[in-house]
Amino acid sequence: MTPKTLLFLCVANAARSQMAEGLARARAPKEWRIFSAGSQPGRLSATAVAAMREIGIDISAHRSKGLDQVPVQDADLIVTLCAEEVCPVVPGGRARRLHWPLPDPAATADPAARLEAFRAVRDELAGRINELLKE
């Protein structure tokens, strides 16, 4: 069987897609290839790292990447995670596509509520990825 290649996309590749990549890497079969990227890569969110560390997944070595830094054309599944922003568009290809419009937790203005927003998105991603892996 050919290993699955899964790609998570958002704008900055700083929070949602990074958490999704970490969750999928931890839960998918080891032969799967898991990537994340953004249309305007920024910087990995320290709050995303902290939220993932709470559940035993270390994404601190992750780096934000652009679409040109991942094997987009090899993807079997592309999951876009934008809600308020314009998601990256990947033309053509054979990949199945899913859209999970999750709010950007980094956009939470109240610093006291920010970590909770990251936890909520992390937990939603975890549930969706678990369901996806059952398919």
Q: Is 10 a catalytic residue?
A: yes
- For residues 1 and 38, what is the distance between their CA atoms, to the nearest angstrom? 29
**Which residue in the list 82, 117, 126, 129 is annotated as catalytic?**
82
**Which residue in the list 28, 55, 83, 87 is annotated as catalytic?**
87
Phi-psi region of 3 (alpha: psi -120 to 50; beta: other; left: phi over 0): beta
**CA 77, 85, 73: angle at the middle one, nearest 5?**
25
**Which residue in the list 10, 11, 12, 117 is annotated as catalytic?**
10
DSSP state of 69: G
Reference 24, options 98, 126, 119, 118; nearest CA is 126
Q: Is 87 a catalytic residue?
A: yes
- For residues 33 and 5, what is the distance between their CA atoms, to the nearest angstrom? 5
Q: Is 27 a catalytic residue?
A: no
The set of catalytic residues is 10, 82, 87
